[in-house]
Amino acid sequence: MRVITTISDLKAAIKAEKSQQKTIGFVPTMGYLHEGHKALLKKAREENQVVVLSIFVNPLQFGPNEDLESYPRDFEQDQKVAQEEGVDIIFHPSVTEMYPNELSVTMKVKKRTDVLCGESRPGHFDGVATVVSKLFHLVQPDKAYFGKKDAQQLAVIEGLVNDFNFPLQIVPVDTVREHDGLAKSSRNVYLSEKERAEAPALYRSLLDAVNRIKAGEVNPERIVQVISDRIQTETSGQIDYVSILTYPDLEKVEVVQGNFIMALAVKFSKARLIDNVILVEE
């Protein structure tokens, strides 16, 4: 496994792999790797000859009052995980390596951002689309792996790849959960013991909603109410949103049918957790 910190070394390494016609699987991350990332790396390892992992906490996707400075980082541990998962190249650039000057061009995501996390994090997905575009150009992957937990990010990236004809395939990977259903996240470490015990209620409320839909409920407002009531009763978190939208277009629904997502974000004292269930018509 090679750790590469400069763009010039990365370009040389990718050129060498490409010259041998090797397929490249890419897992972009901000580090502090957990089981969710491992699932992405495992899938990338299965499907490609070369696996590239990027670890870069991208300042462009953090708002002024967000957790850029305190975002958890542990590069030593991340290297161990990467080694165990059979990563070939870790790309771990500094902020000045990625953005030596203020960018003269950035991405502006126009659709799929005025809802869910995009609504409360203005500019977040512009920052994601900008860094992901840059990373795709550098790594030139055949396939790139994204978790379904960040379903809005996945939808935005799919739009980016389609609109700009990036020559790669996006591979969505299922959310990895703790034994009690809580979605794995780097931010779970910020939960107090009490909040950690409450947090599985998020996923339970989504599963409860799935059961109601399967039993014939089609009214999105009633389903949102049921999810919200349960979170308010069973946790001390503050609901940021509970939404039901079409997937992947993320448009409002009048009647719950077809392909849709039920998504939520809940703020605890030091962590904002997100989760979702995507239901696809069979």
**List of residues contacting ligand PAF (CB under 6 A):** 28-30, 58, 61, 128, 131-132, 150, 153
SS (H, E, C) 81-146: HHHHCCCCEEECCCHHHHCCCCCCCCCCCCCCCCCHHHHHCCCHHHHHHHHHHHHHHHHCCCEEEE
Task: CB nearer to ligand PAF: give 29 or 140.
Answer: 29
Q: Measured between alpha carbons, how far is 227 from 201 in angstroms, rounded to an integer?
A: 10
Which pair of structure tokens corresponds to residue 22? 């090797």
Q: Compute the least distance from the CB of residue 147 to ligand PAF, in Å.
A: 7
Q: Measured between alpha carbons, how far is 145 from 135 in angstroms, rounded to an integer?
A: 13
Q: Compute the least distance from the CB of residue 149 to ligand PAF, in Å.
A: 9
Contact 229, 221 (CB under 8 A): no
For every residue of 144-208, DSSP letters joined together read EEEEGGGHHHHHHHHHHHHHTT-SSEEEEEPPPB-TTSPBP-GGGGGS-HHHHHHTTHHHHHHHH
Strands (E), 14-141: 24-29, 50-55, 89-91
Task: CB nearer to ligand PAF: give 58 or 205.
Answer: 58
Q: Compute the least distance from the CB of residue 146 to ligand PAF, in Å.
A: 7
Task: CB nearer to ligand PAF: give 36 or 220.
Answer: 36
Task: CB nearer to ligand PAF: give 153 or 235.
Answer: 153
Q: Compute the least distance from the CB of residue 61 to ligand PAF, in Å.
A: 6
Q: Compute the least distance from the CB of residue 176 to ligand PAF, in Å.
A: 14
Task: CB nearer to ligand PAF: give 127 or 237.
Answer: 127
**Which class for 45: exposed (0-12), middle (13-18), buried (19 or more C-beta within 10 A)?**
middle
Which pair of structure tokens corresponds to residue 33? 């790797």
Q: Determine how many CB atoms are found less than 10 A away from the CB of residue 1.
A: 13
Which pair of structure tokens corresponds to residue 222? 């009633």
Q: Please say if 37 is a catalytic residue.
A: yes
Q: Compute the least distance from the CB of residue 213 to ligand PAF, in Å.
A: 28
Of 37, 92, 137, 179, catalytic:
37
Q: How many CA atoms lie within 13 A of 206 on its CB side?
A: 24
Task: CB nearer to ligand PAF: give 158 or 217.
Answer: 158
Strands (E), 30-161: 50-55, 89-91, 143-147
Q: Measured between alpha carbons, how far is 171 from 148 in angstroms, rounded to an integer?
A: 10
Any idea which residues carry the catalytic annotation? 37
